[in-house]
Structure 1
Amino acid sequence: MRRIRVRLDVAYDGTDFSGWAVQPTRRTVAGELTAVLTRLFGTVEGLTVAGRTDAGVHATGQVCHVDVPADRWDALSAALLRKLAGLLPPDVRVLAAAEVPPEFDARFSALSRRYEYRVTDAAWGASPLRRHDTVAWPRPLDLDALNAAAEGLVGEHDYAAFCRRKEHATTIRAVNRLDWRRDPDGILVATVQADAFCQQMVRSLVGAQLFVGDGRRPAAWPAGLLTRRVRADEVTVAPAHGLALVEVTYPDDPADLLARAELTRRRRDADDQPAPPADGTEPTGLSRRDWPAGLSRRD
């Protein structure tokens, strides 16, 4: 059976999902998509996503690919988006579906991923209509302090202090954008872009900067953690619901897709190494009573 590769651009409200990846007893984005795609195409293979979002994290610009029977694609492609809209639950939508070359890999062909994180420091908290995607911070935040903290975190570094370490997985990443803005409605938005991210990295970076923004840490503190080779226990992991994946970029020339995927795989293979043992000298940092209600050191 001849198959063709399809790129899907996906948006979802992560509130009621246990993340992207399929889990047997939990509701996930990939689980919902797989069930509906299988219903339409009969069989689907190789559902692969650009970034596996955690439980509660949203997306407006997620990308995945899947291989489907060519004859079913020919029959369904013209009306596919409407059919998907009718079958998928209201908290997940496929925004675009297009045939792509077999060399396209949603994960390894990607050049960058861009996330945004929304925070309000308003005394009344988050707007009721935005409570699912905006975190209410209990202290006033200084925009200049947030950007001062962000500046030292840009570049290619080992972000072990900000990552949930996986065995034999690298924590070296290249962050090419990290900055904050305050929108006209008063919401503070962090934009974070990198070639890739390790687990909990964005939320940990944001958590560290928020403690600078509210005056409890100096601006140089987050960048100083980049010398660590183990996760910094004193870094707060910011709540999941403030985070959204908003864009994934790929090479403009289809001929470059395979080369990019192969380069990404080689880099990962070269960089992957076991985590070094903790030396027992990590500072304890802020006490639990210093954290905003509902936050924890670890998810």
Structure 2
Amino acid sequence: MDQLAALATFVRAVDHGSLSAAARSVPSSLTSVSRQISALERHFGTRLLVRTTRQLALTEDGRMLYERAKSILGELKEIEERLAGNRREPSGRLRVSAPALMGRLLIAPLLGDFLRAYPSLSVDLLLVDRNVDLIEEDVHLALRVGRMPDSQLVMRKLAEVQMIHCASPDYLARRGEPHTPADLAQHDCLVFSDAPGAATWRFGREANSGARIRISGRLWVNSLDALAVAAENGAGIVRVPSWQVEKQLVEGRLRRLLREHEPAPAPLNALYQPSRLGSTKIRAFIDFLVERWRRSDPLCR
């Protein structure tokens, strides 16, 4: 048995949801695919898949092998790309995840220029406000804001993000302007969260000091876009990245508050697996973002 070929067939079967779909993707025969899966199960002495009439289900051992096999095959692909890196330009498909609002406003507008610069590359941009599993979701590069816990992932700092507080002139005329973080207890605060409830806003330039104020807002939304619109229309005080509301601040639709109490900028990091360290397509994308953002400085103001 060719173990690498069998592992690749196993991963394709799981990704496509059936043995027949995996066979069509190569193309190969259904008999050949089934034989390779069975050989893997005999080799490892355990059942990997539960076959039903409609779909495949992974056993616990199958799930572990799928994740490791996908990583191993990815590492081999990256080795091929690294060895060929000096001979050809970046090519293939690059899967990137980023926070939804950042991806929509700061990354998507640049993709046209990026794709023109690298005609052999294709990009999948996954916009989600959660931490994706790079192996499980087959993501090559993840952009995340904030200080990262200890991790085996490779991390490169791209820029910094400044969170600010603002409200509409109409709201401030009605309720007055807060001068200290403690004053927020007397105000309507707008909370960004995946679920209703209180939030904690940190103030002060030092990461491990400063005030932490518990915010129990009258309005919570799981979209920063929607919160900014609500703040423009007098709903209360919002906490957002400075780049998101730059235009509203310039035009006077929002006013920046508590500037002397703002937290230190949070790092924006690019994360990827160590096995992809030599990937020319990842390096090309990161370098492109850094160069463009350094030129326009849209993130931290």
Query: TM (normalized to structure 1)?
Result: 0.21
User: Greater Rg, structure 1 or structure 2?
Assistant: 2
